[in-house]
Amino acid sequence: MNGFFQGAWQIGKVFGIPIRIHYTWLIVFGLITWSLSTFYFPKVAPQLPVASYWINGVVAAFLLFFSVAIHELAHSLVAKRYKLTIESITLFIFGGVAQMKGEPPSAKAEFRIAIAGPLTSFFLAAFFFLFSLKTTNIGFKSLFSYVYQLNLILGFFNLIPGFPMDGGRVLRAYLWSKKKDYLYATQKASKIGQNIAIFFMIFGVFSLFMGIPTGLWLILIGWFLYSAAYGSYQQSTLEALLHNVKVKDLMVKDLVTVSPSMSIQEVINNYFLKYGYTGFPVVSEGKYLGILALRDIKSIPEEDRPLREVSEFYGRHKPQWEISPQDNALNALEKMLREDVGRLVILEDGKITGMITRNGIARYLEIKKFITKINE
């Protein structure tokens, strides 16, 4: 998900929360403006000039995404009350999402954060409905009527009880309060979310066969929800398996190091092929310098390997590639993924005392899953 939102740019801040727009938002904005200007407004207000249709179409599209932003902002403001960090609110092709760092501290907090969005949408629906009743201008009446209906749909749609939708989070809060088990509640709500997403996709395919073009949207929404629900399930499982596991529990202490003066051929023959590791710490006179990874030397021609030294190719150490032995193993894995590195090091007075790797964590997870299945 985080990778998906790399295609977004910030347009401002509200209450200190960055508001971002993904490039897919522009596609939907154009489609909504076009469909409203050429179909909806000419049908409900045929007496208006063509220019009014396009103006109303643009305004309605803006109000729709404004409503989505307010919906997500409501989630964010309640989350901030519980000391949770909101990294950003992003508007994209399927609406919007508030990227929250961390998880709610309790079932009550989860419920309040989740329900804030739909309640805000219902409030906006009532607000625009009253405007549509008060105005006598046919253009404004049709505009406000459209926006109030969309907010009503947005509120009810988000209450569908499938994670990660708001209704799914409400369901998770309920299961969490009953079972007192956050992992169980997350996995159950995620599974229900996956089933609902599959139903959307099947119904979307059926609609296309029946000649209903909106079936394509149902397929896309179903796919997006399934991916998000499955990702949440995987994340919760990972958190459970690495719960209370520290870096010191998984780090390698007996390190095999290489010297910067070694030839690449020597390292390949006596280290990569002998030990089977994909990277080695580079150490000179007891001082840690960096990591020589297999990918650093794969492009060197075979005939040049005896002549080239490690010092030419190893990755120089960066502070962000360090981690404390007391840190959580899950944090270490997330840091490796974020930095796109295969390992992190533990340093004391400039000397390397340990290293934790992606492969090491992966092996631990495989064994833990196997033991868990045996015990079931």
- Pairing outcome for strands 85-92 and 17-22: parallel
Nearest to 228 by CA among 236, 326, 278: 236
For residues 340 and 334, give the distance between their C-alpha atoms in angstroms, rounded to a whole number.
10
Give CA–CA dist 170/94, Å, rounded: 20
Asked if residue 94 lies in contact with residue 224, where contact means CB atoms within 8 angstroms, the answer is yes
Question: Residue 160, SS3?
Answer: coil
Q: How far apart are CA 292 and CA 364, in angstroms?
A: 24
In terms of Cα–Cα distance, which of 287, 286, 288 is closest to 343?
288
> In 3-state terms, what secondary structure has residue 12?
strand
Catalytic residue positions, numbered: 72
Contact 129, 73 (CB under 8 A): no
- % the chain with pLDDT above 70: 96
Whether the per-residue pLDDT at 226 is higher than 70: the answer is yes
Backbone angles phi, psi at 170, to 5 degrees: -65, -40
**216, 203 in Cβ contact below 8 A?**
no
pLDDT in tens, 303-339: 999 999 999 999 898 888 889 889 989 889 888 888 8
C-alpha span between 57 and 203 (Å, rounded)? 29
Segment 141-161 shows an average pLDDT of 90
Q: What's the pTM? A: 0.71
Closest CA to 91 of 22, 18, 166: 22
Q: How confident is the model at residue 114 (pLDDT cuts 50, 70, 90)?
A: very high
Strand residue runs (E) in 47-122: 85-92, 95-101
What's the mean pLDDT in 144-170? Answer: 89
Measured in degrees and rounded to the nearest 5, phi and psi for residue 105 equal -75, -15
Residue 188 clears pLDDT 70, i.e. is over it: yes
Which tokens belong to 112? 């309040």
The answer to whether residue 3 scores a pLDDT higher than 50 is no
pLDDT tens-digit map of 60-82: 888 988 898 899 999 999 999 99
Q: What is the model's pLDDT at position 7?
A: 65
Does the pLDDT at position 15 exceed 50? yes
What is the three-class DSSP state of 7?
A: helix
Q: What would the two tokens of residue 117 be?
A: 């969005």
